[in-house]
Structure 1
Amino acid sequence: MKSLLSNKRGVWLCAVTFVITATHAFADIKPDSGDYAALPAGTDLALLYQQNPRIDKAYSGGQRVANNLDLDLTVEVLRLVHFTEFFDTGYIWDPQLIIPYGHQDLGATGQKNSGIGDVTFGATLWTLVDMARNRHLGWSMFITAPTGADKNLGFALSNNRWAADFQVGYVHGFDEHWTWDVIGETEFYQEQRDTGAHRDPLIQLHNHLRYNFTPQTSVALSYRHNWGSRETLDGQTLQTSHDNGTLGFSATTMLGKQWQVMGQYWRDVTVRSGPMTDNSVQFRVAYIY
């Protein structure tokens, strides 16, 4: 009996560790509706995000491996963006810096962590900017550095490895009201620095169907899906490949000429691998100067 209880406890702790290491994506700023619409050169943005995902279940290979985790995350992210001309080519690009900070409370074990997460820097280069028809094509590269606090203690905002994220995004305005944003993304990972665990590339597809009531106010229905990201160590699978889908709704409006606010609600609708977000309420405030 003692051996059986010990084995169950080991499985539970492994599941908890799996969930925490899989939640790093919450510190990642995914492309929102309108993000791939270029702004004029000389524009600067300061954006502040807050994410509040709630997680109770986790899956591996399509099977539930943890329940009643009571994982509560509060994540704030500061993002600084500068739009400028790309070296006298006539193209626009936007060098930027992304700094996450958060608090993690895992009710199942009583574990708490807080601090700065992994910092990301990079830019988008637009090769198509048609302001009149609202059509834009941008190519992005972002590098994430393992700068986060508590790297080896399961802090969700740090994955303790370098990562390179490549994206291509297209915005198509059908008329003055309807816009479709589609973004393809592939992320590559270094081996984890403390364990040597290997992670396969992650492939993601983001879709945002946006309705613009006015040029200042819009709502969007969004769907994201990701594949890959299988993680192994010494030939053993730590995390199975993703085949996960997330549905979201957002509303955005301008407050005057310099302030923009966005509210979002996200919910996972299918999870093959990783934590399942029952609901996540997110907010974004942008200052344009």
Structure 2
Amino acid sequence: MYAFQLATLMLGLQLPIVCHALDVDPGDYTPMPDGTQLGLLYLQHAERHDYYVRGNQLSDKYNLYSDVSILRGVSYQAFAGVLTNIQLLLPFGHLSAGGDIKGMGSESGMGDPILANAVWIHQDPSTNRALAVTQYLFLPIGDYNKNKELNIGENRWKYVLQGGYMHGIGSRVILDFVADVTFFGDNDRYSSRDLTLKQDPQYQMQGFIRYMFSERAAMHVGYSRLWGGQRKVDGTELEDESRQAKIVLGGSYFVTPKAQLLATLGRDLSVENGFKEESRVNLRLLYVF
């Protein structure tokens, strides 16, 4: 089985570097006033060395490094008293392999653009409580080459349905709960052999605790669980269902009344199949227009 999994890895690593899971930041479901527009820049760096198959470590020398930047625009509108927003995300990335998989080389380019729309079912800014649903559609137009072992784009449609709930406790503590499911289209150009990649739905739950030192400064700790998403290549199950747990720690600060800087450190606690992230650094700059 290990030989089969390794052969599959070398066949064509379709690693979705932008969002292997659709991670969120604490406060993403904060309702904003009608007419608000946001511009965001994300910078993300992650390092991986360990590769797992069915819970067992296959190697600790499968070095994979990723650097991702994302430009994101968000516009809020209220229709008949219901708050919504529309979003556009443009990802760009660089992948670099080392150690025992150094032969995979490196790759840079544009990832699959993302269209998103959120609708708030309930909001009460006075108590920091809100409930919303968001849809994400990944467009398969990112850089993809079936003859390369590393790719930035995925050559397939993806749809994510996500729900988020924010719950204030007093004036200082806010809890964020987010759950989503991802549905995958087929990649009919998987590797140079033009195989067809199919994938089962994938699920994720995320939770954060935020402590507000003031209206400008906050810190947070978070936990995430990911499961599902088993893949098939030309009808053959890879037995690579995702089972991942990770933790994050970070903080945010409004450097001006309209500009916020958020930083998060994280790592995987456990991985059933695939790469285990040893470390991750996320930086986000948000500007309110």
Q: TM-score, normalised by structure 2?
A: 0.91
Match of 1:251 in 2: 251
Give 1:59 deviation, angstroms. Answer: 1.5
One-letter code of the match for 2:152? L
Match of 2:81 in 1: 90
Cα distance in 2 for partners of 1:228, 1:29 equals 14
One-letter code of the match for 2:201? P
Matching of residues 158-237 of structure 1 within 5 Å: 158-194=153-189, 195-237=195-237
Residue 108 (structure 2) aligned to one of 102, 111, 114: 114
One-letter code of the match for 1:186? V
Q: List, as ranges, runs of 4+ consecutive aligned residues in structure 1 with deviation greater than 4 Å.
A: 10-13
Match of 1:130 in 2: 124
Distance 1:65 1:237, change over 3 A: farther
One-letter code of the match for 2:175? W
Match of 2:135 in 1: 141
Matching of residues 261-276 of structure 1 within 5 Å: 261-276=261-276
Give 1:16 deviation, angstroms. Answer: 4.5
Match of 2:30 in 1: 37
Match of 1:3 in 2: none
Which structure shows the bigger proportion of residues in strand conformation?
Answer: 2
Cα distance in 1 for partners of 2:151, 2:268 equals 18
CA contact (8 A) 1:15 1:65 kept: no
One-letter code of the match for 1:255? V
Q: What are structure 1's unaligned runs of at least 5 residues?
A: 1-6
Moved more, 94-103 or 229-238: 229-238
Match of 2:192 in 1: none
Q: Secondary structure at the match of 1:65?
A: strand
Cα distance in 2 for partners of 1:35, 1:157 equals 25
Give 1:80 deviation, angstroms. Answer: 0.5
Pair 1:51 & 2:44 matched? yes
CA contact (8 A) 1:96 1:123 kept: yes
Q: TM-score, normalised by structure 1?
A: 0.91
One-letter code of the match for 2:31? A
Residue 102 (structure 1) aligned to one of 93, 99, 112: 93
Give 1:150 deviation, angstroms. Answer: 2.6
One-letter code of the match for 2:271? V
- Count of residue pairs the alignment pairs up: 279
One-letter code of the match for 2:41? L
Give 1:53 deviation, angstroms. Answer: 0.5
